[in-house]
Amino acid sequence: MNEQGNERFLISPFLVFFIIHCSQVGVGVLSFQRAVMKEAGHDSWMSVIVASCVVHVLIWIVYKIFQSAPNAEDIVSLHAQYLGKWLGNLLSVLLLIYFFLLALTVLRTYIEIIQVWMFSLIGAWQFSLIFLLLTYYTVLGGFRVVVGLCFWGVVIPLWVILPMLFFPLEYAHYRNLLPIFDHSLIDIFRGAKAMTVQYLGFEMLLMYYSFLKHPEQSHKWAQWGNAFTTLIYLIVIFISLVFYNEEQVQHIIWPTLTLAKIPEVPFIERMEYIVLSIYVLVIFPIICLAVWSVSRGAKRIFSIKQRKSVPIILSLLFVVSLFIVQRENIEKLNMLTSKIGFYVVIVYIPVLYIYISIAKRFKKTVQQ
């Protein structure tokens, strides 16, 4: 951070827990069962755990990167330091484009879900306009406000949505989990690959690292955040496994939402409408965080004021989301983003770490 010592903008380390968790759990939770169960069937929960372990390591690597380069504030200056100005900035810009895609994907996918489940006649532009206006208001408040939203985006859905997921256990067939290890390791790893995508989002840590008050202390919380995400995914996959069977899931696009059709209380039923509505609170922080990351990155690279860049980013998001209408295209967008995300976290982050540690050693030997 340039304004060093300005503690007002920094956030307590434990809030990283909420940011990490919030940025990982997005629209994916509503539909990930299909992809994973296609590969690993009723052993999918193992895939969830395997993928989680990988992400734990990746988070560790991210922290290692920043520790080994203490001068770097965020990924932009890190790039500039180790890869030179041109190459570094190019990579940073690519990363920003990825964050932009992330926001776009989440936004468009969620709007599609709303359209399918609730308002088939209301145009997508209305929802994206509202989302983006709210995003504008949030991001103007600065990182602290974005984090505040992350906090609420974790806490409120946790109290509202999670309890609903346990109602379907009324129809649980626990035998579905047996026999354990019916699938080969390769299947499980394939499932884990499909699952890793669901953990994406934590890599925005690369952008907001400098906003943490005591970055070293926050490591623990980041890991806990990921562990909590794993727990949520495990609960969802476990309930889906006992509630559906493998073949049935393949016929349902959003199994988690269909789960919410089961709970019933005397004064209200069909909870999927509540889940969908409350899901705004899950989606919204991700968009805010991604937009904030892009604008922050733009500030660091091109020194554009965030006040100016945010409206540009938002209008760009709005325009692009207008052009993605068909379900096919949305699916393609999802595929594209998850593929890029997958390579960013699985390939790029470790490579960067290795490169930096080698470069450091090399520098040392040169100095000697």
Partner 1 sequence: MKRIAFILLIMLALTGCKNYRVVDEVQIIQAMGYDVKNGNYIGTAIYPTFKQGPMTKPNILTTSSSTTYDLIPRLSSKSALPIEEGQLRLVLFGEEFAKGGITEVVHSLARNNKIGSRLQLAVAKGDAEELLRITAKKTLSDTLYLSNLVEQNIRAMNLPKMNLHLFLYNYFGKGRDPFLPYFEKKGDFVKLEGIALFKDGRFVGKVNLRDSFLVKVLLNETKNGMYQLRVADYRKKEESRVLLQNLFARSRYEWKKRGERPVLTISIHIQAAVKDYPSWLDMPQKNTLKMVREKMEKDIETSVKNLMEYFKEKEVDPLGIGDFVRSQTRNWNEEEFYREYKEIDIRPHVKVDIIQTGIGE
Partner 2 sequence: MSIFSFFKKNKSKEKTKTLPQLLNELKQSSDFANIQFETRGNHISIYYFDSLIDPKLLQQNVLCHLQNDVPGRSSLSLDDLPQILPVQRIEVTDNVETIETKLLKGFAMLQLNENKRRCVLINLASENLGLRPNNDSENEFSVVGPKVGFVENIGTNLHLIRRQLVTPNLIFREMTIGSMSKTKVVVAYIDGITNEQTVQTVVQRLNDIEFDIVFDNSLLDQMISDNSSSPFPLFVSTERIDRVVYALVEGQVAIFADGSPYVITGPSTLFHFFTSPEDYYLPWILGSFFRLIRIFGVMFSTLASPIYVAVLTYHYEMIPKDLLGPIIFSRSNVPFPPILEVLFLEITIELLREAGARLPTKVAQTLGIVGGIVIGQASVEAALTSNVLLIIVALAALASFTTPIFKMSNTIRFIRFPIIFFATFWGGVGIVFAICLLLIHLGRLQSFGSPYLVPFYPLRRKDFVDSLVRSSYSGTVRRPSYLRPRTFWRYDPKKAKQKKDIDE
Shortest approach of partner 1 to residue 156 CB, angstroms?
23
Q: What is the longest distance spanned by two Cα atoms in the chain?
A: 76
Does residue 260 interact with partner 2 by CB under 8 A? no
Does residue 122 interact with partner 1 by CB under 8 A? yes
Does residue 149 interact with partner 2 by CB under 8 A? yes
Given a contact cutoff of 8 angstroms between Cβ atoms, the answer to whether 47 and 188 are in contact is yes
If the CB atoms of residues 119 and 343 are measured against partner 2, the closer one turns out to be 119
Question: Which residues contact residue 120 at a Cβ distance below 8 angstroms, ignoring those fewer than 6 apart?
Answer: none
Q: Which of 9, 137, 159, 302 binds partner 1 (CB under 8 A)?
A: 137
Strands 268-269 and 264-265, how do they pair?
antiparallel
Print burial letters for 250-269: b (CB count within 10 Å at least 16), e (below 16).
eebebbbbbbbebbeeeeee
Q: Find which of partner 2, partner 1, none residue 331 binds, CB within 5 to 8 Å per kind.
A: none
Between CA 21 and CA 225 the distance in angstroms is 5
Chain residues 89-128 in contact with partner 2, contact rule CB under 8 A = 114, 118-119, 122, 126-127
Between CA 303 and CA 143 the distance in angstroms is 17
Closest to 142 measured CA to CA, from 321, 263, 299: 299
Does residue 317 interact with partner 2 by CB under 8 A? no
Closest to 58 measured CA to CA, from 256, 364, 274, 351: 351
Q: Find which of partner 2, partner 1, none residue 179 binds, CB within 5 to 8 Å per kind.
A: partner 1
Q: Mask 149-178, x = binds partner 1 (CB under 8 A)?
A: ----------------------x-x-xxxx
Would you give the DSSP letter of residue 167? Answer: G
Chain residues 250-309 in contact with partner 1, contact rule CB under 8 A = 251-252, 258, 261-262, 264, 269-270, 272
- 285 by Cβ neighbours in 10 Å (0-12 / 13-18 / 19+) ranks as buried
Beta strands in 106-154 (DSSP E): none
Does residue 347 interact with partner 2 by CB under 8 A? no
Q: Which amino acid is at 232?
A: I
Q: Find which of partner 2, partner 1, none residue 121 binds, CB within 5 to 8 Å per kind.
A: partner 1
User: Any idea which residue has 């990746």 for tokens?
Assistant: 58
Shortest approach of partner 2 to residue 286 CB, angstroms?
13
266 prior amide bond cis, ω within 30: no
Q: Find which of partner 2, partner 1, none residue 280 binds, CB within 5 to 8 Å per kind.
A: partner 2
- 205 by Cβ neighbours in 10 Å (0-12 / 13-18 / 19+) ranks as buried
Q: Mask 270-309, x = binds partner 2 (CB under 8 A)?
A: x--xx-xxxxxx--x-------------------------
Q: How far is CA 185 from the centre of its chain?
A: 26
Count of residues touching partner 2 (by CB under 8 A): 37
Does residue 136 interact with partner 1 by CB under 8 A? yes
User: Any idea which residue has 């359209």 for tokens?
Assistant: 115
Coil/strand/helix, residue 120: coil
Q: Find which of partner 1, partner 2, none residue 5 binds, CB within 5 to 8 Å per kind.
A: none
Does residue 244 interact with partner 1 by CB under 8 A? yes
Q: Find which of partner 2, partner 1, none residue 351 binds, CB within 5 to 8 Å per kind.
A: none
Tokens of 119: 């308002």
Residues that bind partner 2 (CB under 8 A): 11-12, 14-15, 114, 118-119, 122, 126-127, 130, 134, 137-138, 141, 144-145, 148-149, 151-152, 155, 264, 266-270, 273-274, 276-281, 284
Residues that bind partner 1 (CB under 8 A): 116-122, 126, 129-130, 133, 136-137, 171, 173, 175-179, 182, 244-248, 251-252, 258, 261-262, 264, 269-270, 272
